[in-house]
Amino acid sequence: MAKVLITGADGFTGRYLSSALLERGHHVIGLSRTAGLLESGVEVHACDLTDVASLQEMIATCRADWVVHLAAISFVAHADVTELYQANIIGTRNLFDLLSHADVTPSRILVASSANVYGNRREGILSEDMPTQPANDYGVSKQAVESLARIYSGRLPIIVTRPFNYTGRGQSRQFLLPKIVEHFRSRAPSIRLGNVDVARDFSDVRTLVDCYIRLLECEEALGGTFNICSGEAHLLRDILAMAEKKTGHPIEIEIDPNLVRRDEVKVLVGSKAALEQIIGPVNAIPIEDTIAWMLADG
C-alpha cells in the first residue's frame, strides 16, 4: 500500500479522495493552508504551497510514494486574480521543483488541471489532442500548470487530469448544481440562472475519485493527460426537471442576463476514450442518482 500526500486535502475533492484511499488500505497525509482532522481521520498539516521552506520540510518528512496535487483556487469567478495565479501556478511550480530535488521521488504524481483549458468556443466532443484555448484566468492558470508538468516530465512521473464539471454533497453553493439543489431543498419559489438550454458533461465526485485512484494504480498512465468525464451531455433544463421530479416542488426559473454568456456554446462534452483505454470502463454514477443523493443530504 502507498503513502499518499494530498495537497488541498480538506477541499471538496480532497475529502472524498482521502476517504476512498483509506478504504483501499493506503496511508494518507493531507496538506492545506490550515491544519485539522478530516471526518475520515486523515490528519491535515498546515502548509501553504507558496511557502517554499514549509513545503520543503513537509515533503522531506512525508517521503510519499504518491502525490496528488489538488490545491488550487477552483472557482472560475474568483475575485482576486493575483491570488488565483499565485496559488495555482507558483504553488504548483514550487511543488514540482521541490519534489524533483527530494531524497525520495514519488512513483506517481497526479495533477488536477481542468477542462477549462479547452475554452468555450467549440461545440461537440472535446478530446485531449485538441489545442487548448482557455477563455478565463482560471483556465489560463490551469494551462500553465500543464506547461509546468511538461517542463518537469523528464524528472517526475506526472499524470495530468482534466476534470469536466463534477459535483456531490459538500460542494460549495457558488457552483451551479449545488445552487440548484439547495433551491429545491429549501423549496424556494424561484431561482436566477443564465441560459438553461445549454448541455454540459456532469460527473459525480465519487466517479472522479475512482478514476483518480485507478490512474494512480496504473503505470501506463504516467506521462499522460486524461479527460475525467462522463461522455454524456445533459441540458441544465433537464437537471432542473430531475430535481423537480424528485422533490415534487415546482420552481420558477428567472433568466438573469448577467449570467448569460455571449456566444454561449450549446453543447460541451468530453471524450473518455483515452481514459478508458488506460483504466478500463469508467464506473459512472448517473447524474439522476447524484442529484437524488445531494437532495437527501441532511
Instruction: Return the CATH number at 30.
Output: 3.40.50.720
Q: How does the average pLDDT of the chain come out, rounded?
A: 93
User: What percent of the chain lies above the pLDDT cut of 70?
Assistant: 97
Burial 254-277 (b: 16+ CB within 10 A, else e): eeeeeeeeeeebeebbbbbebbee
Tell me which residue range forms the domain holding 118: 3-167+205-229+268-283
What is the DSSP code (8-state) at residue 281? S
Asked if pLDDT for residue 131 goes beyond 80, the answer is: yes
Is the predicted pLDDT of residue 262 greater than 80, yes or no? no
Assess if residue 275 is contained within a domain. Answer: yes
Summarize pLDDT for 182-231 with one digit per residue, the tens: 999 999 999 999 889 989 999 999 999 999 999 999 999 999 999 999 99
pLDDT of residue 135: 84
pTM above 0.75, yes or no: yes
17 CB-near residues (< 8 Å, 6+ apart): 6, 9, 68, 70, 209, 212, 213
- Number of domains present in the structure of the chain: 1
Q: What is the pLDDT of residue 121?
A: 64
**Residue 296: which pLDDT band, with cuts at 50, 70 and 90?**
very high
User: Could you tell me which residue, 125 or 16, shows the higher pLDDT?
Assistant: 16
Please list the residues that pair with 269 across neighbouring strands.
125
Distance, in Å, from the CA atom of 51 to the CA atom of 78, rounded to the nearest integer, reads 21
Domain-located, residue 178:
no
pLDDT of residue 256: 86
Is 238 a member of any domain?
Answer: no
Residue 151 lies in a domain: yes
Q: Is 168 exposed, middle or buried (0-12, 13-18, 19+ CB in 10 A)?
A: buried
Domain-located, residue 55: yes
pLDDT at 80 over 90: no
Specify if 101 maps to a domain: yes
Is residue 104 a part of any domain in this protein?
yes
In a domain, 248, yes or no: no
Which pLDDT band, with edges at 50, 70 and 90, does 124 fall under? confident
Q: How far apart are the C-alpha atoms of 273 and 127, rounded to whole Å?
A: 8
Q: Is residue 78 predicted with pLDDT exceeding 90? A: no
